[in-house]
């Protein structure tokens, strides 16, 4: 099936070339980081995770969001999602590969990363995160590939894919739950120490993932002869709507608990993010932008006239995607570290080098996504004749 990927239009090759260029530049900068250490980042003793882990966290959500097409199609036989299920699975594959790359980029000693396997440590949440992320990646590659291959050959997918598909559902929930557990089980980090964190992560994932999928459906429709179907997109937009409302609701629950209980160690972080603390407020405009985008997003999805407007919907999805990205990556990580456990404020601002390396990871993910989506779209075109 891979041969499909090496036949493409001029536009296809220009796009891949552009991605490869970004990857090459980023790789050169990564080599510098590899040689000289994470000193090239804006991270510090106080803010010891930054842009890499922030994007990792967000993309785990995008990957988990794929389950929002898998559940309706496989558990509820929702036929409208027949055509886009594979897109959801391939989006999960690309996102997970980016996640793993971000983790490696963040390690101080990447050549020792196999120590996690050589000395398995079940009491560390990072160990479990590695298990579920790799498991979910493996499941999606196998399922996506086998189902697409069967479709190409116009036969039923092998029976053994069914249990794997069912297994992928708890895994999808699992990857984001365990990722939340990385943060919310740590004593002394008031911002993360909340049971709502995993549900909030899932809600934001089910908003960000499907809204990105809607955008991808538009692109697929524009650049290939394959049409994912307007009805499927409409259903996705409803899913985004509910998930986004849940995300904002969970956040407001958190705000209530923190500010009604008035526990200083918990208030300080949210104050820092939205109002600034001790004169430091680098994230204040970002956080308000995020909130505004999410509220506008809800308004545009709740009102049927806006939601069903084919021209408006992609813009709504872009707003939601950016809004949730700021909320979950920039705010979630910096917010947890500032102020530090001794109530000092050290702000985090990523360096250009750090951002370019991150763009390199994103370019790699987009490259994989492009190839996988091209496979899917081409097979679907072939089958439909």
Partner 1 sequence: MNNKRENFLNKSSRRGFLKVAGISAVAIGAAPAIKAVSIASGGGEAALPVKTAKTEALTAKRWGMVIDTNKITEEVVESVVAACRNSHNIPDFGIQPDEEKYPNTRPAKKMQEIKWIWEEHYHNAFPEMEDEFLADKFKSLPFLVTCNHCKNAPCVQACPTKATFKREDGIVIMDFHRCIGCRFCMAACPYGSRSFNFRDARPFIEKINPEFPVRSKGVVEKCNLCAERLERGLQPACVEASEGAIVVGDLEDPESEVRAILKENYAIRRKQELGTEPSVYYIM
Could you say whether residue 189 binds partner 1 (CB under 8 A)? yes
**Does residue 31 bind partner 1 (CB under 8 A)?**
no
Which of 75, 312, 341, 384 is close enough to bind partner 1 by CB under 8 A? 341
Task: Based on the shown chain and the rule CB under 8 A, indicate whether residue 276 belongs to the binding site for partner 1.
Answer: no
Residue 91 CA to residue 219 CA, distance in Å, equals 13
Minimum CB distance to partner 1, residue 192 (Å) = 9
User: 154, 163, 260, 264: which one contacts partner 1 (CB under 8 A)?
Assistant: 264
Would you count residue 38 as binding partner 1 (CB under 8 A)? yes
x-or-dash pattern for partner 1, window 44-73, by CB under 8 A?
Answer: xxx-xx------------------------
Number of residues that bind partner 1 (CB under 8 A): 46
Of 104 and 150, which CB lies nearer to partner 1 in the complex structure? 104
Residue 352 found at the interface with partner 1 (CB under 8 A): no
Asked if residue 119 binds partner 1 (CB under 8 A), the reply is yes
* Residue 153 binds partner 1 (CB under 8 A): no
Listed as own residue / partner, the contacts of 17-20 with beta carbons closer than 8 Å and 24 or more positions apart are: 19/363, 19/364, 19/366, 19/367, 19/370, 20/363, 20/367
Q: Which residues contact 147 (CB under 8 A, 6 or more apart)?
A: 85, 86, 89, 157, 161
Contact flag: residue 342 with partner 1 (CB under 8 A): yes
Is the Cβ of residue 113 or residue 383 nearer to partner 1 in the bound state? 113
Position 139 contacts partner 1 (CB under 8 A): no
CB 362 within 8 A of CB 95: no
Both tokens of 322, joined, read: 């950016």
Q: Is 37 left (phi over 0), alpha (psi -120 to 50) or beta?
A: left
What residues does 178 pair with on adjacent strands?
Answer: none
Q: How far is the CB of 289 from partner 1 (least distance, A)?
A: 26
Is 24 or 186 the residue whose CB approaches partner 1 more closely?
186
Q: Using CA atoms of 213, 180, 121, 164 in order, give the dihedral in degrees to the nearest 10.
A: -40
Closer of 289 and 340 to partner 1 (Cβ): 340
Tell me phi and psi for residue 346, to 5 degrees.
Answer: -115, 120
Residue among 104 and 169 whose Cβ is closer to partner 1: 104
Are residues 143 and 66 in contact, defined by beta-carbon separation less than 8 angstroms?
no
* Identified binder of partner 1 from the candidate list 18, 24, 186, 352, rule CB under 8 A: 186
Single residue of 18, 126, 303, 383 touching partner 1 by CB under 8 A:
126
Stretch that binds partner 1, among 57-65, 120-128, 162-170, 196-204 (CB under 8 A): 120-128
Q: Tell me how far, at minimum, the Cβ of 302 lies from partner 1, in Å.
A: 37
* CA–CA distance, 220 with 111 (Å, rounded to integer): 38
On whether the CB atoms of residues 62 and 19 are closer than 8 A, the answer is no
- Taking CB under 8 A as the rule, does residue 346 contact partner 1? yes
Pick from 12, 15, 78, 127: which binds partner 1 (CB under 8 A)?
Answer: 127
Only one of the segments 59-67, 74-82, 105-113, 232-240 lies at the binding site for partner 1 (rule: CB under 8 A); that segment is: 105-113
Tell whether residue 118 is a contact of partner 1 (CB under 8 A): yes
Contact call for residue 279 and partner 1 (CB under 8 A): no
Q: Kindly state whether residue 154 participates in binding partner 1, applying the rule CB under 8 A.
A: no
Asked if residue 81 lies in contact with residue 73, where contact means CB atoms within 8 angstroms, the answer is yes
Stretch that binds partner 1, among 18-26, 146-154, 187-195, 292-300 (CB under 8 A): 187-195
Residues at the interface with partner 1 (CB under 8 A): 36-39, 41, 43-46, 48-49, 103, 106-110, 112-113, 115-116, 118-119, 121, 123-127, 130, 182-183, 186-189, 264-265, 336-337, 340-344, 346
């Amino acid at each position: 099936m891979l041969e499909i990927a090496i036949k493409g239009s001029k536009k296809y090759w220009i796009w891949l070339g552009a991605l490869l260029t970004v990857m090459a530049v980023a790789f050169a900068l990564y080599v510098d980081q590899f040689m000289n250490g994470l000193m090239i980042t804006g991270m510090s003793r106080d803010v010891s995770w930054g842009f890499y882990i922030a994007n990792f966290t967000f993309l785990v959500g995008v990957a988990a969001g794929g389950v929002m097409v898998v559940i309706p199609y496989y558990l509820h036989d929702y036929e409208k999602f027949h055509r886009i299920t594979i897109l959801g699975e391939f989006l999960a594959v690309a996102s997970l590969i980016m996640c793993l790359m971000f983790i490696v980029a963040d390690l101080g000693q990447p050549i020792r990363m196999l120590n996690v396997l050589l000395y398995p440590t079940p009491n560390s949440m990072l160990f479990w995160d590695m298990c579920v992320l790799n498991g979910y990646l493996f499941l999606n590659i196998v399922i996506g590939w086998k189902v697409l291959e069967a479709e190409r050959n116009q036969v039923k997918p092998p029976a053994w894919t069914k249990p794997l598909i069912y297994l992928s559902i708890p895994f999808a929930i699992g990857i984001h739950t365990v990722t939340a557990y990385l943060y919310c089980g740590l004593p002394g980090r008031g911002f993360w120490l909340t049971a709502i964190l995993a549900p909030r992560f899932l809600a934001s994932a089910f908003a960000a993932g499907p809204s990105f999928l809607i955008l991808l459906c538009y692109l697929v429709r524009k650049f290939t002869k394959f049409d994912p179907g307007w009805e499927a997109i409409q259903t996705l937009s409803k899913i985004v709507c509910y998930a986004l409302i849940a995300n904002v609701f969970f956040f407001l629950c958190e705000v209530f608990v923190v500010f009604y209980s008035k526990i200083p160690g918990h208030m300080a972080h949210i104050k820092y993010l939205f109002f600034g603390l001790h004169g430091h407020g680098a994230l204040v405009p970002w956080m308000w932008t995020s909130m505004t985008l999410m509220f506008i997003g809800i308004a545009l999805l709740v009102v049927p006239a806006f939601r069903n407007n084919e021209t408006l919907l992609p813009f709504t999805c872009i707003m939601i995607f950016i809004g949730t990205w700021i909320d979950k990556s920039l705010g979630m990580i910096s917010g947890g570290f500032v102020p530090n456990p001794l109530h000092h404020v050290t702000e985090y601002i990523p360096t250009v080098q750090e951002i370019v390396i991150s763009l390199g990871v994103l370019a790699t993910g987009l490259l994989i996504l492009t190839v996988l989506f091209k496979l899917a779209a081409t097979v679907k075109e072939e089958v439909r004749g």
